[in-house]
Amino acid sequence: MFDENGKMSLSRYMHYHYYETADVGGTRRLKRDVIMSVFYMLTLPPLLYFLIFFKRQAPMVFDRNRQIVYHWYKGNVRAQHFKDLRIHEDSQMMRIQTRSFGKRGEMQWANFMVQPRHNPYYNGKDAYEPVFAFICQFMEYGREHVMSQCKQWQSNDKPFAFFDDEKPKDFAQQLNAVLTHLSENDTDIPLDKDNLPLSTGMDMSMSMRLSRAESRESNKDVDKSE
């Protein structure tokens, strides 16, 4: 098996490993190992790159004083006014829709994705309703109304990531630019005869959600008084 120098060539080793040590299926084993090696070489480097350089999603901030909501993604600031905030829900996730400037300076839609069950494939409507109610009541009444017993307002339970999506250095300039554009131009949101955002399918404005939340809150108060 070895030559006079105690060495073995690669071709000799391959022949020995797949044909002389295997009872059956030497060629089949060789093909299987080649396919698996190619698969690992193609998938592991991108996966490692993703794990190392993936950044934790920046939080979405609801500013009641300014009546705006904002967040950022890879240096791009996204924002929307409370009155124009919209949410789209499907079986996979809930998308809180904001606005931002694109690479060419055009105004575009952006999504902040929420999956209450932490399931990447399915999150039912029953999981969204408590989130909607919490957001709407916070927007209307403040955090003391929805988190009166909490000693801190930010959870320490964060998803794993090596890096955070850092706040842009020109955050204030970008935010003011987006808000100014939204205030001076059409928001591209269809309105009804009462100048309220229309809902399309499962896409519903936060103003409508807020009305529902207020209705539920008033019903609870009535039940308690009775």
Structure tokens that stand for 211 in this block: 């009305």
Find out whether 203 and 86 touch, Cβ atoms under 8 Å.
yes
pLDDT digits (tens, 9 = 90+) for 66-102: 999 999 998 999 999 988 888 888 888 888 889 999 8
Averaged pLDDT score across all residues of the chain = 76
Distance between CA 226 and CA 224 in Å, rounded? 5
34: pLDDT confidence band, cut at 50, 70 and 90?
Answer: confident
List, for residues 124-150, the tens digit of each pLDDT value: 778 888 888 888 888 888 877 777 665
Give the model's pLDDT for residue 186: 57
- Predicted confidence band of residue 116 (pLDDT cuts 50, 70, 90): confident
- The 10 Å Cβ neighbour count of residue 198 is 12
Q: Which band of pLDDT confidence, cut at 50, 70 and 90, is reported for residue 155?
A: low
pLDDT of residue 201: 36
What six digits make up the tokens of 222? 């009535």
pTM: 0.63
Residue 16, Ramachandran bin (φ over 0: left; ψ between -120 and 50: alpha; else beta): alpha
C-alpha span between 36 and 17 (Å, rounded): 17
